[in-house]
Amino acid sequence: MLDGSFSTVGVIAIVLMFISLVILLGPIFARGFGAFVFKGTVEYRKLMLDKFGRGDRERIIAEVAGAAKTREPVYELMEQFRVELKEKDYDYRSRYGQPFKELEELVEDLFGPAPGSSMPVLVRGQYGQTRWDRANVKLGNILFIEEYDYSDSSKMGELVLVPRADLFAGTSLEPLFRLLESDIEKMMRPRTTVYWRFLFDGSYDSHFFGGIWPELLGTFYLAIGAMLFAVPLGVITAIYLAEYAGDSRFVSLLRTCISSLAGVPSIVFGLFGLAFFINAIHVSPSKSVLAGSFTLALLVLPTVIRASEEAIKAVPRSYKEGAMSLGAGKWRTVVTVILPAALPGILTSIIISLGRAAGETAPIIFTAAVSVGKPLALWETMSQPTPALPWNIYNLATEHEAVDEIRHVQYGMVVTLIVLVLLLNITAIVLRARISKKLRG
């Protein structure tokens, strides 16, 4: 009885772990997929044609014209009401003036600027909703007003949807809502769209449109830059620890330092990077990829050292003896025999550290990351800050002016980052499995 329940509890703990992984990744993958594959409206195709020059020009222009035609009745109804407003008395105007203005804005939000009106400066204002799911949300906003019902004082206000049509009941505008509801598909023309270029497009109007290439590239720069510094340092340290160091006091101090470094909170690395690399030795005038890479390199250094040391220690002694017996010096032995034999293991550690460096946010906040930026050329990394996936996920999810409007971009970034990191880790796991198979066999 005790035995059985004990095992059960243990199994439940593990199942819970599985569940948390699924709960964590499930919604992220499901919604992140939507950044790449979604129903794009005619506005999307117009945007792609205007900004990226993609698509069949003739066909898209024809399609836009077709959509505009179906939208005409809407604008006619509104124009008619506008005239009506002017003609009616003050009471009427004060009753419908404000709600109508609101409605006009909502319609512009859905369809983009009305024909004949002036073009807004911001790109987001120049187009209607490019995604069918967002268009439906906007349509919902037109059709219904969200109100909170506070009649039950013991509870928090309850959300109630009031049809906007009620507001305009009896006016010439009333048919507009039915028209919108029934013809929205014709007006927006949703079509399933695969936007794989999400990864490689720059963003327009702070991520309202376009892709995440600057962030992706910045992440590559930072992670690879970090490894450029961490790998030589880490592998050489590992060689020293595994092959040269004895059991002296210095070596045990060194080991303590390495494990301490591994325990330093990542935000402290960030502050240190700011205080040292930027403010003290001025590797760059302000934030830069270089400073961020240095900081990240320190962060992953202990991981690289430990894993590489293990890999080197796993190399059979006999290889070393063989090389030595042929007259190879110690360093020669290390370089020509031990390192090649340990290479898969070292590679595993590098891959895992690469994933770690790519996903860290706190160390780059003060040293490398900016919210908006262009993709950098290689030489610019020495002095320029960059957007990076982890930082921009934070930034878009908390500080962006329209957090709710660009959920799909946030999810897209998160999925990209996760896939990147997990791919690296899976590679490492597979590599390690092959090594251990080889060592066993």
Partner 1 sequence: MNNDIGELRKPEIRGPDRSPDRTGSIITAKDFSVYYWKKAAVSEVSFDIPARQVTAIIGPSGCGKSTFLRAINRMNDLIPGCTTSGLLSLGGQDLYSSKVDVVSLRKMVGMVFQKPNPFPKSIFDNVAYGPRIHGARDRGALSNIVRRSLERAALWDEVKGRLSDNALGLSGGQQQRLCIARAIAVEPKILLMDEPASALDPQSTSRIEDLIGELRREYTIVIVTHNMQQAARVSDMTAFFYEGDLIEFGETTQIFTNPTEKRTEDYITGRFG
Partner 2 sequence: MPDVIKTADSERLRDGLLMSKGALRMQSVGALAGRSILIAIASSSLIAILFIFYFIIRDALPFFQIEGIREFLTSTRWYPSREEAEFGALAIFFGSALVTLGAVVVAVPMGVLAALCLSDILPFSIRQVVKPVIEMLAAIPSVVYGFFALVVFAPLMQERGGSMLAAGAWIIFAPLAVLATAVLSDLLSSRLDGKARLVSQIVSVALVGGLFLAGLLRMHGFLVGLTIVSGTNALNVSIILGIMALPTIVSVSEDALNAVGRDLREGSYALGATRAETLLRVVVPAARSGIMAAVILGVMRAIGETMVVWMASGNAARIPGPWFNFLEPIRTLTATIAGDMGEADHVTGSARYHVLFVMALCLLMFAFISNLASEIILRRARKRGSV
Query: What is the contact surface with partner 1 in residues (CB under 8 A)?
Result: 246, 316, 318-329, 332, 336-337, 340-341
Quick check: 301 binds partner 2 (CB under 8 A)? yes
- Residue with Cβ nearer partner 2 (257 or 326): 257
Quick check: 333 binds partner 2 (CB under 8 A)? no
Among 160, 260, 332, 372, indicate the residue that binds partner 2 (CB under 8 A). Answer: 260
Report whether 70 contacts 183 (CB < 8 A).
yes
- Residue with Cβ nearer partner 1 (232 or 322): 322
Among 114, 314, 429, 431, indicate the residue that binds partner 2 (CB under 8 A). Answer: 429
Quick check: 431 binds partner 2 (CB under 8 A)? no
What is the gyration radius of the CA atoms in the chain, in angstroms? Answer: 30
Quick check: 239 binds partner 2 (CB under 8 A)? yes
Interacting partner of 325 out of partner 1, partner 2, none (Cβ under 5 to 8 A depending on kind) = partner 1
Q: Can you spell out the DSSP letters for 139-200?
A: HHHHHEEEEEE--STTSPPEEEEEEHHHHTTTSTTHHHHHHHHHHHHHHH--EEEE-GGGGT
Interacting partner of 275 out of partner 1, partner 2, none (Cβ under 5 to 8 A depending on kind) = partner 2
441 vs 436: CA distance, rounded Å? 8
Q: Can you spell out the DSSP letters for 236-248?
A: HHHHIIIII--S-
Least distance between partner 2 and beta carbon 315 (Å):
18
Least distance between partner 1 and beta carbon 323 (Å):
7
The residues near 180 (Cβ < 8 Å, ≥ 6 apart) are 74, 139, 142, 143, 187
Quick check: 160 binds partner 2 (CB under 8 A)? no
DSSP strands (E only) in 130-237? 144-149, 158-163, 191-194, 203-204, 209-210
- Residue with Cβ nearer partner 1 (79 or 321): 321
Collapse the DSSP code of 287 into the 3-class scheme (helix H, G, I; strand E, B; otherwise coil) and give the result. coil
335 vs 425: CA distance, rounded Å? 27
Quick check: 339 binds partner 2 (CB under 8 A)? no
Interacting partner of 318 out of partner 2, partner 1, none (Cβ under 5 to 8 A depending on kind) = partner 1
- Residue with Cβ nearer partner 2 (2 or 169): 2
Least distance between partner 1 and beta carbon 203 (Å):
48
Least distance between partner 2 and beta carbon 111 (Å):
28
- Residue with Cβ nearer partner 2 (6 or 92): 6
Backbone angles phi, psi at 147, to 5 degrees: -130, 155
Least distance between partner 2 and beta carbon 398 (Å):
6
Report residue 239 as tokens.
């060689």
224 vs 201: CA distance, rounded Å? 21
Measure CA of the first residue to CA of the last residue in the chain; give whole Å: 41
Q: Which of 407, 408, 238, 402 is nearest to 307 (CA)?
A: 238
Report whether 106 contacts 141 (CB < 8 A).
yes
62 torsion bin: left (phi>0), alpha (psi -120 to 50), beta (else)? alpha
- Residue with Cβ nearer partner 1 (64 or 335): 335
Least distance between partner 1 and beta carbon 339 (Å):
12
Residues 359-398 within binding reach of partner 2 (CB under 8 A) = 359-362, 365-366, 390-391, 393-394, 397-398
Beta-ladder partners of 192: 39
Residues 4-43 within binding reach of partner 2 (CB under 8 A) = 5-14, 16-18, 20-21, 24, 27-28
Angle value at C-alpha 43, between 41 and 46, nearest 5 degrees:
120
Among 83, 162, 194, 264, indicate the residue that binds partner 2 (CB under 8 A). Answer: 264
Quick check: 358 binds partner 2 (CB under 8 A)? yes
236 torsion bin: left (phi>0), alpha (psi -120 to 50), beta (else)? alpha
- Residue with Cβ nearer partner 1 (337 or 420): 337
- Residue with Cβ nearer partner 1 (86 or 249): 249
- Residue with Cβ nearer partner 2 (40 or 363): 363
**In degrees to the nearest 10, what's the CA dihedral of 9, 14, 16, 20?**
170
Among 123, 199, 271, 328, indicate the residue that binds partner 2 (CB under 8 A). Answer: 271
Q: Which of 418, 416, 34 is nearest to 212 (CA)?
A: 416
Least distance between partner 1 and beta carbon 340 (Å):
7
